[in-house]
Amino acid sequence: MKKYVNILKENGIKVTPQRLEIMKYLDEHMTHPDVEKIYSDLKKKNPALSKTTVYNTLEILRKYNIVQVLTISESELRYDFKNTLHHHFLCKSCGKIIDIDVECPKLNKMLKGKYKVDEVHGYFKGICNVCRGKRKTVTNN
């Protein structure tokens, strides 16, 4: 928990139990949950939690670049604790979002090009291999 306290303090954001819980949740779950999932899971521990607090907290964490918003889904925003740059794969069958590590060599040019780029999002959509029945196992190299 100290980890999250520090992040908040470093950014000059007031430390509150709700904020810590939400940060911890995002950091520990690699599932890229939406607000409803975060809310319903955390409400088990803290029944007084308000969904508005989840929205407010995600908004401030985002403002300070602590979390990232994924627009990969068409119906709701997904949240990701911000680590190093990576891309995402959305399984259109089961809805899972998986981290994808791709280092695109063209990225640096884009980042230094004529546009001032603040965010980079790489989204792939398709069917995950669990949903394909784990039949084909093809390497990625």
Partner DNA sequence: TTTCAGTTTGTAATCATTTCAATGTAACAC
Partner DNA sequence: GTGTTACATTGAAATGATTACAAACTGAAA
Task: Return residues touching a copy of itself (CB under 8 A).
Answer: 69, 71-74, 77, 89, 92, 98, 100, 102-106, 109-110, 112-129, 132, 136-141
Evaluated on CA atoms 104, 24, 18, 36, the torsion sign reads positive
Using CB atoms within 10 Å of the CB of residue 36, give its burial: 0 to 12 exposed, 13 to 18 middle, 19+ buried.
exposed
In whole angstroms, how close is the CB of 13 to Zn ion at the nearest point? 29
Q: Which token pair is 60? A: 């401030």
- With tokens 């521990």, the residue in question is 45
- From a copy of itself, Mn ion, DNA, none, interface partner of 139 (C-beta below 5 to 8 A by class): a copy of itself
Q: Whose CA is closest to 78, among 31, 38, 34?
A: 34
- With tokens 């690699």, the residue in question is 30
- From Zn ion, DNA, Mn ion, none, interface partner of 25 (C-beta below 5 to 8 A by class): none
Q: Does 91 bind Zn ion (CB under 5 A)?
A: yes
**In terms of CB distance, is 36 or 111 closer to DNA?**
36
Applying CB under 5 A, which residues contact Zn ion?
A: 91, 93-94, 128, 131
